[in-house]
Structure 1
Amino acid sequence: MRLDLSLSATELTRAVVDIPSPSGAESTLADAVEEALTGLGGLRVDRDGDAVVARTELGRQTRVLLAGHLDTVPIADNLPSRLADGHLYGCGTSDMKAGVAVMLRLAAVLAGSVGSVGTAASTPSVGFVPAHDVTWVFYDNEEVDAVRNGLRRLAANHRDWLDADLALLLEPTSGEIEAGCQGTLRVAVTVPGRRAHSARSWLGENAIHRAAPLLERLASYQPRTVTIDGCVYREGLNAVRITGGVAGNIVPDVCEVLVNYRFAPDRDVAQALDHVRETLDGFPVELTDSAAGALPGLTAPAAAAFVRAVGRTPVAKYGWTDVARFAALGVPALNYGPGDPNLAHTRDEHVELELIDTAEDVLRRYLTGPAAGPGRP
């Protein structure tokens, strides 16, 4: 399937959405993205698995990296896409194919190969020249286990492809700048009991009942609110799954409670785990998964320049995104993109069309500068 980058950002979003790409099945969309970028000319285009990376080589003093994942959560009877009342509905519209479409439009604009199709958001780069070198990273498997993440693979296999002065993840932010991200960890808490026939329950100890004090402790937990660089991060410690019991006539002898801690980026994973163990003192805690957060990084010159250019006050990112991966690589990173994060992964996922056009316009103005006149380079 071909992608026509001369379409408006809205129309291109619809085309991208209508190419199904649940995690692990991104190859058709990756093929289309690679073909479209290669066809622009003037870009170096590389591929690793179902991750596609394109870059300009203009010799600018600064490089900005735009990143977006190609995959979606499983389709929930919400394809093909549909337009209604200024919104585009469909799987991945908000998270994050609108951002992917904006990235593709910007590649076409900066390559100077798109003719006007009659809307302000689709105006080509006539009268403008790139102010930065730009890298575009389209990657796979963001919505699944971190070990499969395409950006993680790129960092391991091609670290130099990710070099930049600033990385912008076009995750849905409703057009706001979301700085940093929360860290996350999950622990399994196993509560033992003694198995017995439920008709003679006094001979056993019900492990599910014995988990009640743990649940009460979690229910009464008072999470921190932490302000960093003006961004307010709210924490949370929650039971997210309970398993126990083997049959309808047996007193269970084991109950497992999975607990998720979302923590502010002023703590690393070790400190967060220490806090969970202290909070759940008296219960055995086993770490099952973790990912460090990322500080806002707003003092980095490139990040500060982007904030000034957009003219929005940054807010904290609730949730984990790959800004943390870039932060670990020493690359300042921010979240900025069309779409409402609260609609991600829902059956009625949709994106406001105006947000798509606004995101393209804001990023185009940031990435380009006045055209060179006579005697100027």
Structure 2
Amino acid sequence: MAVETTDSAVEHPAVTTEGRRLLTELVSIPSVSGNETEAAEALAAFLEQNGRETYIDDIGNVHAPGDDTVLLTSHIDTVPGDIPVEIKEGEEGPELWGRGSVDATGPLAAMAVAAVETGASFVGVVGEESTSRGAWHLIENREAPEAVINGEPSGWDGITLGYRGLLEGTYVATSESGHTSRPDPNAIQHAMSWWNRVEDTFEPDEWIPVFEQVTTKPVDIEGGVSVDGLSMDATMEFQLRVPPERTPEEVRELSDAELETGTVNWTEFIPAVMTSPRTEVARLFRVAIRKQGGDPRLLRKTGTADMNIYAEEWGCPILSYGPGDSNLDHTPHEHLSLAEFDHSVDVLIEVCEQLGVEQPDDHTSDETTESKS
């Protein structure tokens, strides 16, 4: 395998393999959602240099068609945040610090290496941290594989079987402007009142795991007197996380029932996913983790991922896997143990080989034809 870069972190003595080199290079390239081009090109170059037919589609996803017994896929983009890229000595050896090292450049690089070694199909998708536009584009432009391994941090000895679903929306209210001494509620108060009722509807229960509850979160709010001075406006964007026991439609109806003033525009409906630990893919992961000396952990995550979309649309065996502590996602402390990265690569290769993945002879694929750029 070969990949070229001159970044100082890549020249660190701990970067002893081409997989670690790819990981460090990709973490060194800023790839916030909407600005993934440079990282996508570096990823494509790695795949091409290692003999894989590779192309970038018209939305920015990086494809390396191969054996569709399993599709290895993770996301290229990260959330914003400038964390200096450097390798520090940790309790268990060298650690790579930098935005995306955990979520999800670590899993992405591990899957790219495993794809090169085994011949498995691979796609690096864009936009997971925003609208999942890469995942939606993927399912619209290729046939379902036999199985999917979605790259997200689970720890090298963990596999993620479930994610909660997601409802997103925007609440908007308008009221006449007036003196603040008046008792009549204004648009901002209407927004606050509706949201308080929604929170009461899904009040947290400390005796029930978070994964099994609906949780509510406002993510942006704006309000005040309009430009012409004649009205008061309020706009609030929010998210509701939905457990497998409830449907997005049910949660939406309960939220709408609390609406007395204003309107809600629902913009995202992604169902929860919970897969069986008894699938052949899950079994092979447990075997591979034990072979590396680990004790397999089965995880459920309170967030939402591209896995939800693939499970809903393709209906094939699926789980999420990748190196890294998900508690570090999106934090200023994001870093990844290089030894953990190595373990995850070995686990992925073992699983692909046990599934019967073969190196492609003629670079053919079940993928439909897409425009290449």
The TM-score range, normalised by the shorter chain, is 0.7 to 0.9
Q: Determine if the alignment matches structure 1 residue 335 to structure 2 residue 320.
A: yes
Q: Is the 8 A contact 2:168 2:269 kept in 1?
A: no
TM-score where L is the length of structure 2: 0.76
Quote the residue 1:317 is aligned against.
Answer: 301
Q: Which residue of 1 aligns with 2:187?
A: 207
**Within the alignment, does 1:263 sit opposite 2:273 as a pair?**
no
Establish whether residue 302 from structure 1 lines up as the match of residue 283 from structure 2.
Answer: no
Q: 1:6 to 1:103 in 2, by over 3 A?
A: farther
Misfit runs of 4+, over 6 Å: 224-227
| One-letter identity of the residue aligned with 1:142 | E
CA deviation profile, 1:111-145 (whole Å, cap 9, x unmatched):
6xxxxxxxxxxxxxxxxxxxxxx211112222223
Q: 1:48 maps to what in 2? A: 57
| 1:292 maps to 2:280 | no
Q: How far apart in 2 are the matches of 1:171 and 1:320?
A: 11
Amino acid at match of 2:39: L
**Residue among 356, 365, 369 paired with 2:341:** 356
Contact 1:193 1:210 in 2 (8 A): no
CA distance in 2, matches of 1:269, 1:355: 36
Measured after TM superposition, the shift of residue 294 of structure 1 is 3.7
Residue 87 (str. 1) matches residue 95 (str. 2): yes
Structure 2 Cα separation of the partners of residues 312 and 45 of structure 1: 33
* 2:129 equivalent to 1:143: yes
The C-alpha deviation readout for 1:242-291, integer Å capped at 9, x for no partner, is 322138xx89733334332100133333222112223x253544133213
Matches within 5 A, 1:143-162: 143-146=129-132, 149-157=133-141, 159-160=142-143
Which is greater in Rg?
A: 1
CA deviations on 1:318-377 (whole Å, 9 max, x unpaired) are 211111121112222211111122222233321222321221122222222599xxxxxx
CA shift in 2, pair 1:266/1:224, >3 Å:
farther
- Do structure 1's residue 243 and structure 2's residue 249 form an aligned pair? no
Q: Tell me how many residue pairs correspond in the alignment.
A: 331
Deviation at 1:224, TM superposition (A): 7.0
Say if 2:106 and 2:341, in contact at 8 Å, map to a contact too. Answer: yes
Give the equivalent residue in structure 2 for 1:22. Answer: 32
Tell me what 1:272 maps to: 251
Q: For 1:207 and 1:370, how far apart are their aligned partners in 2?
A: 58
TM norm structure 1: 0.75
Quick one: which of 188, 197, 204 aligns to 1:217?
Answer: 197
Q: Unaligned stretches of 5+ in structure 1?
A: 112-133, 372-377
Q: Cα gap change, 1:101/1:190 in structure 2, threshold over 3 Å: closer, same or farther?
A: closer
Q: CA 1:164 to 1:6, structure 2 compared with 1: closer, same or farther past 3 Å?
A: farther
Contact 2:281/2:351 (CA < 8 Å) preserved in 1? no
How far apart, CA to CA, are the structure 1 residues paired with 2:220 and 2:29? 33
Cross-structure match for 2:292: none
1:77 corresponding residue in structure 2:
82
Report the Cα distance in structure 1 between the residues aligned to 2:87 and 2:282, rounded to whole angstroms. 38
The 3 A distance-change label for structure 1 pair 39 and 276 is same
Q: CA deviation at 1:183?
A: 1.2
What's the counterpart of residue 153 of structure 2?
172
Is residue 78 of structure 2 the alignment partner of residue 96 of structure 1?
Answer: no
CA–CA distance in structure 2, aligned partners of residues 91 and 313 of structure 1: 25
Amino acid at match of 1:269: P
Inter-partner Cα distance in structure 2 for 1:219 and 1:342: 25
User: Does the 8 A contact of 2:26 with 2:43 survive in 1?
Assistant: no
